[in-house]
Structure 1
Amino acid sequence: MTSLPKATASQPLSVDAGDIGVLICHGFTGSPVSMRPWADRMVTEGFSVRLPLLPGHGTSWQEMNRTTFDDWLGAVTAALAELRERCRSVVVCGLSMGGTLTLRLAQLYPEAIAGIVLVNPAVMSLRREMAVLPVLKHLVPSLKGITDDIAKPGASEFGYDRTPLKAVDAMRKGWAVTRADLGGIALPVLLLHSRVDHVVEPENARLILEKISSTDVTEIVLERSYHVATLDYDADLIFDESVAFVRRVTKEQ
């Protein structure tokens, strides 16, 4: 669990420091809580950091049902633009749907990004309800929440206890667009994924690795963590590896 109070940790974070920028994107129905320890580590390392709160998150699942993938993409795009304005080089990092957004930014703005870090990223789902989601979302507003898939006792991301289905359908459409353009990604990639993940299927990591065009790719399997690995037993490994990656890919930028 993050050591900060929930009310503080769920707020967006914006820190201007060095000339290397790091944009960190949280996941679906979550908030900056799940990423705050990672963001704080990046600040400690002297990087300028943006950790935005995505629209519809950190409030209520009902409000989230009124937002779209384009809304979420708009928030991280604005944060990227802020960092690009003041930093000589930027790396984008994301967890779960934050990984989807990271991939999409890499597709849309490759010239603005030095590399990307993905933790349990999602671009598809094999869940049965996805097939009927376009109809189901009009009949049922929400299903049971998917938060706190964490092996470490006592850790929590304080996400929604319900999963808003119109928002899920918006995410599904975002997955499709991102999945179709994976071949356009040629940036350096650090991909960390949990061996056991009860939210995002392992087919996601395999598909991303198969489809991207990047030649500089590092894959790390997280042996001790579930989906929200940034709050789990492998958090320090994620932070250490991402710091080394950021320093390496921005060294000559």
Structure 2
Amino acid sequence: MEQKAQHEQPKDHAVIILHGLCGSALEMGSIPKSLRKSGYNVVDLVIQNYSASAVDLTESPNWLDWCAIVENEILHLKEKFKTVSICGLSMGATLALAVASRGNDIVGIVALSPILRYDGWSIPWYQQLIRIPYFLGYRSWSYKESDPFGIKNFEMRRRVANSLKKEGVAEVGAAAIPARHLDAAQKMMAHVRQSLAEVKTNLLVIHSIDDETASPKNPELIIKEVNSEIRKIIWLGDCYHIITVDNEREIVTNETVRFIKKNIEFHCEDLSYKDLVNKSPLRDRRQ
């Protein structure tokens, strides 16, 4: 009975939600609702100079500041909850890996469409050249989102296009990403590429083989280089980059919730075993 009661206390666990660069919680689809329905405390983290509602066009953000905000939230949550997990989408997944590479106390990461390089099929060959104006001091321009907006589903894509036009933000994020924020993201991606071996947190990656923003090379490198005890990848075949709201969104939501639940159970059982071993050392019968 005690064991059953222990598993019926999911409120002992918190999940931090990290949306994409200059985006909002809209991007995460039904994941936050499903996690809350499962009993977890969910934090839709708003990050200064990262989230759409907190962007300052006059400032050049530092990706280390983004990490610091997430790390402070982890410390705050650890005062109230036994374990903390992170679920990130797009650059939010990259940010989660950056935080994990710095040795923070999280038990699991769900990385949805992680980006280490902008190398998907819709990225033009001259993508890297657009950084030249930035380095020359022209930093007030923005990269505008365009069709297909990371979505394969035609009806959803049409709805997103209308939302971006009217409100400037939709399920795919903001209508445009400032050059200063793109530069900070590029620096964070470079750090993560070099620091994957430092990631030891249990990890689930979900990625589309037809991702127009980040090619399959991104998750393949992540799975190959991280030192996570548990690492798993799920490939999707009927969506683009924003997998949380596209054709296979139900699979993404279900697999995310399932992984977080199983990973928490694994962590708790591991802690119970270690506690039992420490409290019941074997005696030397020769004495």
SS of alignment partner, residue 230 of structure 1: coil
Please give the alpha-carbon distance, in whole angstroms, between the structure 2 residues aligned to 1:175 and 1:193.
17
Match of 1:203 among 205, 211, 217: 217
Partner of 2:42: 49
Please give the alpha-carbon distance, in whole angstroms, between the structure 1 residues aligned to 2:55 and 2:79.
33
Please give the alpha-carbon distance, in whole angstroms, between the structure 2 residues aligned to 1:189 and 1:182.
12
Give how far 1:100 is off.
Answer: 0.9
Residue 179 of structure 2 corresponds to residue 181 of structure 1: no
Please give the alpha-carbon distance, in whole angstroms, between the structure 1 residues aligned to 2:83 and 2:200.
16
Structure 2: runs of 5 or more not aligned: 1-9, 120-124, 161-170, 269-287
Partner of 1:149: 150
The residue type paired with residue 128 of structure 1 is Y
> Relative to 1, partners in 2 of residues 1:100 and 1:64: Cα closer, same or farther, differing over 3 Å?
farther
With normalisation by structure 2, the TM-score equals 0.75
Match of 1:130 among 128, 149, 160: 128
Q: Deviations over 1:204-245 (max 9, x none)?
A: 111111211224111101122211111112221112112211
SS of alignment partner, residue 257 of structure 2: helix
Partner of 1:91: 85
SS of alignment partner, residue 40 of structure 1: helix
Residue 81 of structure 2 corresponds to residue 80 of structure 1: no
**C-alpha contact (below 8 Å) 2:205/2:234 kept by paired residues:** yes
Match of 1:37 among 26, 30, 33: 30
The residue type paired with residue 247 of structure 2 is Y
> Relative to 1, partners in 2 of residues 1:62 and 1:185: Cα closer, same or farther, differing over 3 Å?
closer
The residue type paired with residue 183 of structure 1 is A
Partner of 2:281: none
> Relative to 1, partners in 2 of residues 1:179 and 1:238: Cα closer, same or farther, differing over 3 Å?
same
- Using the TM superposition, name which of 61-70 and 243-252 deviates more: 61-70
Give how far 1:134 is off.
Answer: 5.1
The residue type paired with residue 129 of structure 1 is Q
- Using the TM superposition, name which of 216-225 and 149-158 deviates more: 149-158
Structure number with greater Rg is 2
**C-alpha contact (below 8 Å) 1:61/1:160 kept by paired residues:** no
Counting aligned pairs with the same residue, the percent is 26
Give how far 1:52 is off.
Answer: 0.9
Moved beyond 6 Å, runs of 4+: none
Match of 2:62 among 65, 68, 82: 68
Please give the alpha-carbon distance, in whole angstroms, between the structure 1 residues aligned to 2:146 and 2:71.
26
The residue type paired with residue 126 of structure 2 is R
**C-alpha contact (below 8 Å) 1:146/1:163 kept by paired residues:** no
Structure 1: runs of 5 or more not aligned: 1-16
The number of aligned residues is 236
Residue 119 of structure 2 corresponds to residue 105 of structure 1: no
- Using the TM superposition, name which of 87-96 and 138-147 deviates more: 138-147
Q: Deviations over 1:116-172 (max 9, x none)?
A: 111110122345332551543533522322683112222531632222112111111
Partner of 2:263: 249
